[in-house]
C-alpha cells in the first residue's frame, strides 16, 4: 500500500468528485494536504482535519497566476516542501461546438482546463527541480483521445493537457520528476451537472463495462501515479474509461 507519511500533496478541484475522492485517499495514507477549489473546499478540509490530517484549504481560481505563487509560498512556509500536485480542476459547458461556442466560453474552458494545469505545474516545479524529486498527475479525459459531440473546446483543452503532460514528462525525467495523466471516461462527479441527459445516454453504449465510473475508481489511479509505485512512468496517460477508447 502506498505510504504518503510526511509527503505534501496539492489537489485542485478538491471540493467535489474526483478531487474530493483523491483528497480522502491521500489523507488515509497520511499525506499532508493542500486542497484548492473555487467552492466547497472547506467542507472536505474540515472532514479530513477531524481525522487528524494536516490540511491547508484555499478557495482559489486555478487561472490566477498570482494566487498560485502566493499559495506555494504559504505551503513552503508551513510544510517546507511540495511532493506531489494533482491538477484536477476542470469545467465543461453543454452545447460546445466549433461553430457555436462563444469566444467567452472557449476562453473559460481553455483557461481552466489547460492554462490552469500549466500554472499549477509552473508554480510547483521550481521546488521539485531544486530537490530533484516530485510527482505531478494531470487529469485529462477520454475527450483528449476521441471526438465527443458538443464538446469542441472541452476536447481541445483536454488534448492540450495530454500534450503538455507528455512534453513535461520528458523534459523533467532526468531530474527524477515524474509527470503523468489520467483520462477518465464518464464519471459520476459534480461536473455531470453540466452534461445533458442526452449526452449521458450517448456515452453509456460507448462504455464496454456498461456503467459509469465512481470517483474513487479514478482517484485510486491518481494516488498510484503520485506514489513510489509509478517511479518508472513519466509522460504516460492511463485511461480509466471502462474500455471506451479501446473500442
> What are the contacts of 144-147 at 24+ separation with CB within 8 A?
144/183, 144/237, 145/183, 145/239, 145/245, 146/244, 146/245
Q: Which grid coordinates are listed for 76?
A: 513552503
Beta carbons within 8 Å of 130's beta carbon, 6+ residues apart: none
What does the alpha-carbon distance between residue 188 and residue 181 come to, in Å, rounded to a whole number? Answer: 19
Helix (H) or strand (E) holding 222: helix 215-225
- Give yes or no for a contact between 37 and 19, defined as CB atoms under 8 angstroms apart: yes
Selecting among 4, 26, 68, 154, the annotated active-site residue is 154
**Hey, how many other C-beta atoms are within 10 angstroms of the C-beta on 66?**
8
Helix (H), strand (E) counts: the chain: 8, 7
* 154 a catalytic residue: yes
Give the residue numbers marked as catalytic. Answer: 154
Amino acid at each position: 500500500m502506498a505510504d504518503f507519511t510526511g509527503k505534501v500533496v496539492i489537489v485542485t478541484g478538491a471540493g467535489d468528485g474526483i478531487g474530493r475522492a483523491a483528497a480522502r485517499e491521500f489523507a488515509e495514507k497520511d499525506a499532508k494536504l493542500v486542497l484548492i477549489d473555487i467552492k466547497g473546499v472547506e467542507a472536505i478540509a474540515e472532514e479530513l482535519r477531524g481525522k487528524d490530517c494536516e490540511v491547508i484549504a484555499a478557495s482559489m481560481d486555478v487561472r490566477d497566476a498570482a494566487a498560485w505563487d502566493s499559495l506555494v509560498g504559504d505551503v513552503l512556509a508551513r510544510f517546507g516542501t511540495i511532493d506531489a500536485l494533482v491538477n484536477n480542476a476542470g469545467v465543461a459547458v453543454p452545447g460546445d461546438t466549433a461553430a457555436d461556442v462563444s469566444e467567452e466560453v472557449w476562453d473559460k474552458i481553455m483557461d481552466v482546463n489547460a492554462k490552469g494545469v500549466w500554472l499549477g505545474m509552473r508554480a510547483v516545479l521550481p521546488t521539485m527541480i531544486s530537490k530533484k524529486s516530485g510527482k505531478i498527475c494531470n487529469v485529462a479525459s477520454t475527450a483528449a483521445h476521441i471526438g465527443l459531440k458538443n464538446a469542441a473546446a472541452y476536447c481541445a483543452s483536454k488534448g492540450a493537457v495530454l500534450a503538455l503532460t507528455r512534453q513535461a514528462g520528458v523534459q523533467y525525467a532526468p531530474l527524477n520528476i515524474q509527470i503523468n495523466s489520467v483520462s477518465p471516461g464518464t464519471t459520476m462527479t459534480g461536473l455531470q451537472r453540466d452534461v445533458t441527459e442526452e449526452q449521458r445516454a450517448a456515452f453509456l453504449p460507448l462504455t464496454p463495462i456498461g456503467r459509469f465510473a465512481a470517483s474513487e475508481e479514478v482517484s485510486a489511479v491518481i494516488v498510484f501515479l503520485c506514489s513510489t509505485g509509478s517511479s518508472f512512468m513519466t509522460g504516460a496517460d492511463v485511461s480509466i474509461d471502462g474500455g471506451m477508447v479501446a473500442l
